[in-house]
Amino acid sequence: MTTERIIDFLNTRRPDGPCLVVDLDVVRDNFTAFRRALPDSAIYYAVKANPSPEILRLLASMGSNFDAASVSEIEMALEAGATPDRISFGNTIKKERDIARAHELGVTMFAVDAVEEVEKIARAAPGARVFCRVLTDCEGAEWPLSRKFGCAPDMALDVLRVAHTLGLTAHGVSFHVGSQQTDINAWDRALGDARGVFDSLAADGIVLKMVNLGGGFPTRYLKDVPAAEAYGQAIFEALSRHFGNRIPETIIEPGRGMVGNAGVIKAEVVLVSRKADNDNLRWVYLDIGKFGGLAETMDEAIRYPIRTARDDDRFEPCVLAGPTCDSADVLYEKTPYPLPVSLTIGDEVLIEGTGAYTTTYSSVAFNGFEPLKSYVI
Amino acid sequence: MTTERIIDFLNTRRPDGPCLVVDLDVVRDNFTAFRRALPDSAIYYAVKANPSPEILRLLASMGSNFDAASVSEIEMALEAGATPDRISFGNTIKKERDIARAHELGVTMFAVDAVEEVEKIARAAPGARVFCRVLTDCEGAEWPLSRKFGCAPDMALDVLRVAHTLGLTAHGVSFHVGSQQTDINAWDRALGDARGVFDSLAADGIVLKMVNLGGGFPTRYLKDVPAAEAYGQAIFEALSRHFGNRIPETIIEPGRGMVGNAGVIKAEVVLVSRKADNDNLRWVYLDIGKFGGLAETMDEAIRYPIRTARDDDRFEPCVLAGPTCDSADVLYEKTPYPLPVSLTIGDEVLIEGTGAYTTTYSSVAFNGFEPLKSYVI
């Protein structure tokens, strides 16, 4: 997964300290694969996954739309060349003054999951289109979503009815099957619920137009994941099963699936030690950890592939930890991570599949360490 | 816990967005209380808890020493007026070039917990004093430490012997009883282990001088915690019990206990909603969450007191969540948090006891949200 271009960059530039290097060629290929796999869906790149200007500019130039979580992400998408009609304010939790600002910037599509949020939008962005997020189960996802976003399908009916009454356009339904979702059939049940919402509202004369299929498309970490085409096929079949020949507009919001495999973090081994003479587990400490960009190792959820120059040697499991004085800054301990026995202080390691959800998770200065540097090539 | 000075500041300045306000008068009182409670111990403030220059300057002027986790924290302490002999490089995981830099800056005391680290120090900071961190159990701590730092007492003997052989000064032993430690007797067993290390090395002609009692001193969140005097008394008794009339030099490294109760975060309610018509739990969303400074709510470990202007009303439990599109950004759900039933969108809330481990944990820009602002008054 580490491309020749990334290896060349690291060999030539020899950047000091931990850093992420993202290969734009991979992002380009991913975008093309999504477009081919889901030719009838509009792609809204989830900016939060990696908001580097170079990535946003590339995707804007390829015709991508953008899913923004905040006003600042809307501004970044605009700066990258997207027009406001290509931006969705996809966070269901928004301050009214941020909605007003988005409206001022020309954004017309907003996510909601509560009547209270609809009321804010009606006041601050009159005439906007809203889609209501519906709760769904996340079985099969490696980074499962909580109940934080979305409401029960029955409540979604109320939410969209109130939107209609307040002069907004009740535009559609969204759901999210969980991040790093490896079950291609996960979309099926949620689409059944979506169809139910379409039908109930149609009976009131409210015609929904759009289903937002969310994100969840995985990137390859240690295990193989189905290719984009497999997702496209399964989603198309589920859409046909539930909506017959009246398939609505659909959008997808890939984040991890768009940039995850495009990035590699270069890090350094700071210490290899044991805790006691009879300890059979090494501790390997890197110069990057949970607070320097690898937040998704929380509860050991995401297990990144790690490459070293000693991968021809014998491997033994070790506890892998970060460089801060925080005891929670341990990456893999419950399931120790196999690394070459000869790994030693000063060695470089490549942490693959780190293009998404790393740089922006990085803390500002915990323990005085700088945030993760990023190079987009 | 919100002081009049903080309330005045918030009422006068009306800062926009979530922010931390730290009252230096409280820090001053805490320092004085530690000095009184442990008059024979040198105080090394754990800079990582809150490295605001105003706090470091105040503590430097009061005679505090500093426990630094990185070169950058060493530089901050120097800038605040501390001389290098008042700074301990307390992180057991250090790059050799960072040790060299600290040595260049005049720092002479370093933490270790492995022979491999001692070798780096012997090369990069010849002649330095080292203390070896010993593993201890953390029963009674609300933010317990993992096995990440420290080694078994037997291994500590090897570590300090190697230090001595390589021309370093084997200076002492350190341990850490766990952060937010509410059992005043937690120091006792560790001091027994420390005495064992002192004795074994004395038999080899290596005379240790210092015991670093670490941090762990709690701040008051929802429950009362023992006062500094109680800790001082218990520690003095344990020292006497284990070291008799040959009590070594001791140092303490308070972080949370020095600044935790000095700070209050002002935040805003962004949304109050339910997930279904028959849902009996409200969801309250704030404009600050796990990635904006409240990282210590991880696994609901630290439970902050929250004040609102509606605290005379009836309380009902709710799920409390942050503003990002990340489903893990939920503060309290397993144990829902009681808040006034009348709490509503736009209300201000004060999150107390947030002076430590908040600003620097904040992510650089997750979801495009700015890092937590901080005002020290």
Q: At what angle do helices B186-203 and B153-165 cross, to 10 degrees?
A: 40
Residue A254's Cα: distance from chain center in Å? Answer: 6
B25 at A interface, C-beta within 8 A = no
Structure tokens at B7: 């309330």
Location of structure tokens 């997930």: B275
Amino acid at the residue A239: L
Task: Tell me the chain B residues in contact with residue A45 when contact means C-beta distances shorter than 8 Å.
Answer: none
Least CB–CB distance from B367: residue in A48, A151, A274: A48
The three-class DSSP label of residue A314 is: coil
Q: Quick check: A116 and B272 CB within 8 A?
A: yes
A293 at B interface, C-beta within 8 A = no
As a whole number, the mean pLDDT across chain A is 94
Q: Domains of chain A, with CATH numbers? A: 90-254 (3.20.20.10), 261-376 (2.40.37.10)
Lowest mean pLDDT among A74-88, A129-143, B276-290, B363-377: A129-143
d(CA B58, CA B61): 5
Q: What's A367's DSSP letter?
A: G
Q: What number of CA atoms fall less than 13 Å from residue B270's CA on the CB side?
A: 24
Q: Quick check: B371 and A364 CB within 8 A?
A: yes
d(CA B310, CA B287): 18
- Name the closest residue on chain A to residue B363, using Cα atoms: A363
Distance of residue A141 Cα from the nearest chain B Cα, in angstroms: 13
Structural element, H or E, at residue A211: strand A210-212
| pLDDT tens per residue across span A180-194 | 888 888 889 899 999
Q: Quick check: A270 and B369 CB within 8 A?
A: no
B329 at A interface, C-beta within 8 A = yes
CB B197 within 8 A of CB B173: yes
pLDDT at position A245 over 80: yes
pLDDT at position A144 over 70: no
CB A241 within 8 A of CB A279: no
CB B44 within 8 A of CB B214: no
Task: Tell me the chain A residues in contact with residue B268 when contact means C-beta distances shorter than 8 Å.
Answer: 95
d(CA A158, CA A212): 19
* Distances from the Cα of B188 to the Cα of B138, B193, B228, angstroms: 12, 9, 16
A72, A93, A181: best to mutate for the B interface, most B CBs within 10 A: A93
Amino acid at the residue B340: P
- Least Cα distance to A275 among B240, B114, B252 occurs for B114
d(CA A223, CA B323): 32
Give the pLDDT confidence score for residue B182 in this predicted structure: 84
Task: Tell me the chain B residues in contact with residue A326 when contact means C-beta distances shorter than 8 Å.
Answer: 48
pLDDT at position B222 over 90: no
pLDDT at position B141 over 70: no
Distance of residue B301 Cα from the nearest chain A Cα, in angstroms: 11
CB B221 within 8 A of CB B321: no
**pLDDT confidence of A145, banded at 50, 70, 90?**
low
In order, the DSSP letters of A331-351 are EEEEEEEEEETT--TT-EEEE
d(CA A161, CA B306): 35
**pLDDT confidence of A336, banded at 50, 70, 90?**
very high
Lowest mean pLDDT among A155-159, A331-335, B221-225: B221-225
List A residues 178-197 in contact with B (Cβ-Cβ < 8 A).
179
Distance of residue B270 Cα from the nearest chain A Cα, in angstroms: 6
Mean pLDDT of A140-152: 77
Q: At what angle do helices A115-124 and A96-104 cross, to 10 degrees?
A: 40
- Least Cα distance to B204 among B162, B173, B242, B250 occurs for B162
d(CA A134, CA A156): 7
Task: Tell me the chain B residues in contact with residue A362 when contact means C-beta distances shorter than 8 Å.
Answer: 363-364
CB A306 within 8 A of CB A337: yes
B44, B148, B181, B193: best to mutate for the A interface, most A CBs within 10 A: B148
